[in-house]
Amino acid sequence: MEWIKENKFVSGLLALTLLFVGGIFYHGYSEKGDYEQNMAQFTQLKTKHRTLVTAKPYPDAENLKAREQAIQQYEEAIEVVRNSFLEYLPDDTPAPTPGEFSDAKIKMQSELRSQFNKVGTNIPEKFGFGFENYADRQAPPYATSKLSYELGAIQWLLEKLAETEPKALINIRRELISVEKGPPRVLSKKEKMKMRNKKPKPEDLKVFEEMPVELAFKASESAVRDFLQEMANSKKYLYAIRALRIRSEKQNAPSSSDANFETERPRNNEGIAAAPGQADPFGGGFVFPGDEDAELIEADPTEPQLAQRVDPSSIDERTIKQVLGDENVDVHISFDILLMKGKKPAEEEKDETSSGEDQS
């Protein structure tokens, strides 16, 4: 302290020097932190720039425009698909009462039985067409809406099957849908708030609900083909085939004895063989291209005259049937009736006035 009092100038200068050095040290230390932070940001931006440069396509204005056009085309395609599925949304009608559903079920069974009997299709006795569970009891009131939709989808499908005149309707079995297993649980406000924060389950993201059904019947090959076409092209109900099994009712391979060919062509009163026709699947005369309607030149009086040319396709079909037969096939289809979720969008009101109309 005495030295400081005696050397005031020197001690003051020393104090200023220490403060100056401390300020420089503090400034340098803080600048070092900012430098390291700026260098880290620079390295991050450099890496990002390198990624953008090597990206394909390079994000310039031309490629950005092309990408925006591609996204617009994708959105338009998605909109077309969305609108096509909106056609399958059920009508917003009140749910039928259990009694009304029972009446609709009885009417559906009576109409289907009448249609199948009309075309000679064999059906089991006391057949419920998939709704045997409600033969002696009513459906629960909370399930009638979806059951009514499934009832209509099954009736429509079986009506299309009856149009193909199948030989037998073996069975139709539907699995219970979720609403038949118990009433839907009503969530409280707290549970609804928790559900909002939770990640949705995969089944919650589906836009449709599956109604599994299995159908077995016996029909001709052409009838099966027509039925599957009607099922796939339906505009009223949406069906998704999960499994299809077709088996011929004749399990043994065809043999030579299955063929039924005529060994000799029929002859007329003069002993001349008849012209090729339905009785001769392979034909008997030869026709050169362009001479289909010409008559065969009689080089020999015993040679037959060529009648109207037979369609080769009909001969081939008849030959195949004589070898393979025309037996029916047993068909088993496992499919889902898809019930679209949501409601149909309200139709936009059309503007009856236009700018080009004259006002009177």
Q: Are residues 50 and 140 in the same domain?
A: no
Residue with tokens 């079995």: 173
Nearest Cα neighbor of 142 from 177, 88, 194, 179 is 179
Question: What is the distance between the alpha carbons of residues 10 and 54, in angstroms, rounded to a whole number?
Answer: 65
In a domain, 310, yes or no: no
Distances (CA, A) of 187 to 63, 197, 200: 49, 15, 15
Nearest Cα neighbor of 336 from 174, 171, 112 is 174
Contact present, 322 and 259 (Cβ < 8 Å)? yes
Model confidence band, residue 327 (pLDDT cutoffs 50, 70, 90): confident
Q: Are residues 334 and 220 in the same domain?
A: yes
In a domain, 218, yes or no: yes
In a domain, 173, yes or no: yes
Contact present, 322 and 261 (Cβ < 8 Å)? yes
What confidence tens digit (pLDDT) does each residue in 76-124 have?
888 888 777 778 888 777 889 999 999 999 999 999 999 999 999 999 8
What confidence tens digit (pLDDT) does each residue in 1-20 have?
565 666 666 666 666 776 66
Task: Record the pTM.
Answer: 0.59
Nearest Cα neighbor of 121 from 259, 270, 267, 223 is 223
In a domain, 200, yes or no: no
In a domain, 307, yes or no: no
In a domain, 108, yes or no: yes
Q: Are residues 158 and 237 in the same domain?
A: yes
Q: Domain range holding 6? A: 2-55
- The yes-or-no verdict on residue 355 having pLDDT over 50 is no
Element (H, E) at 28: helix 8-54
The count of structural domains within the chain is 2
The tokens describing 201, both together, are 């389950």
- The yes-or-no verdict on residue 269 having pLDDT over 70 is no
